[in-house]
Amino acid sequence: MDERVLRQTVTDLVAPSKGILAADESSRTIKRRFDSIGAESTEENRRAYRSLLLTTPGIGDYICGVILFEETLGQSDSNGTSLPQVAEAAGVVPGIKVDKGTVPLPGAPGDLVTEGLDGLAERLEGYKQQGARFAKWREVYNVSETLPSQLAVSANAEVLARYARICQEAEVVPIVEPEVLMDGGHSIGRCKEVTENVLHAVFEALDRHRVMLEGIVLKPNMVLPGGDSGQKSTPEEVADATLTVFRRAVPAAVRTINFLSGGQSAVESTANLNAINTAKGEKPWALSFSYGRGLQAPALAAWGGQVENEKAAQAAFFERARLNGLARDGQYEGETTPTTAD
């Protein structure tokens, strides 16, 4: 393992005003999003849509990395240039989603665990040849009064740590993504409790597996009330709860925390990120974004599956990236006009 390679990739993923685009939706997820705009989820439509994101003029000003789905890693733009090469030319580091999705965790009703460790080392070598320099693996945690179980917290942490070590052995930077889901009626206090428990377990497992913390990207949830709770926290409340947890659980050796948007609207995720960056107190990490819906929703709505809407979609995507770049620097001042498909 060459630590210099890992450190350089992380350095390329840590920059003022920039964050990571998550364009790694599974076939099922992208179909659901295309259904919402009346577009068919064909291979060509998926290629066209993801290509328009990566060919957006000036996108390297606000996006430093992109997480691709395996299908996209092998696709090309309309000129025949591979999409990883398109990203690199724009100053955007290509990455790849490597997990194989979740299944029920045996012995823990209501909990999930992610599959895909078998053959991962071999797959990473192929992905590297296609241009990927970092990888992403997501573990999810359902929340209720009893969930997640301690078994789920421990099992998911172990899987994340094994994945991270395999990646670093291959000189691929691992994005470590433990997502405490917004789904449910839980309070922000319950989310705070679960998120802290999850992060402590994850970093204990990373330590056991001798993962170099300077060579990872942490992609967690913000601390939020459940979507069905009927509660609405202000950005300042979200920032306070989130930073309290991260100061307790995330070592300073981690260089960057790139939050997922996790079901928040585009405007909410930007406002909350800005509040996190403007909050007082010690923050030893870069605090940035790795958004899927939070960056793409306006662009997807503007595109509508129509070639003639490509420029409008790119303009919407660029604007969302610009606003999140401001939030990453604590300089976002809100929006007077609601964003399309917010």
43 noted as active-site residue: no
Length of the chain: 342
State how far the Cα of 27 lies from the Cα of 160, in Å rounded to an integer: 22
Separation between Cα atoms, residue 129 and residue 238, nearest integer Å = 40
Burial 68-106, CB ≥16 within 10 A → b, else e: bbbebbebebeeeebbbebbbebebbbbbbbbbeeeebe
Residue 341 sits at the vertex; the CA angle it makes with 340 and 342, to the nearest 5 degrees, is 90
Catalytic residue among 18, 97, 136, 219: 219
Residue 70 structure tokens: 């395996």
Q: Which two tokens stand for residue 99?
A: 């997990």
Nearest to 221 by CA among 184, 194, 248, 200: 194
177 is catalytic: yes
- Is the CA virtual torsion 298, 93, 103, 139 positive or negative? negative
Query: In this structure, are residues 78 and 116 in contact, taking their beta carbons and an 8 Å threshold?
Result: no
| Residues 121 and 88 sit within 8 Å (Cβ to Cβ) | no
Q: Are 185 and 226 in contact (CB under 8 A)?
A: yes
Query: Whole-angstrom Cα distance, residue 42 to residue 30?
Result: 10
Distance CA(122)–CA(125), nearest Å, equals 5
Strands 286-291 and 256-259: parallel
Cα–Cα nearest to 270, from 212, 325, 191, 210: 325
- Residue 302: both structure tokens together: 């503007």
Q: Which of 139, 177, 179, 196 is catalytic?
A: 177
Residues involved in catalysis: 177, 219
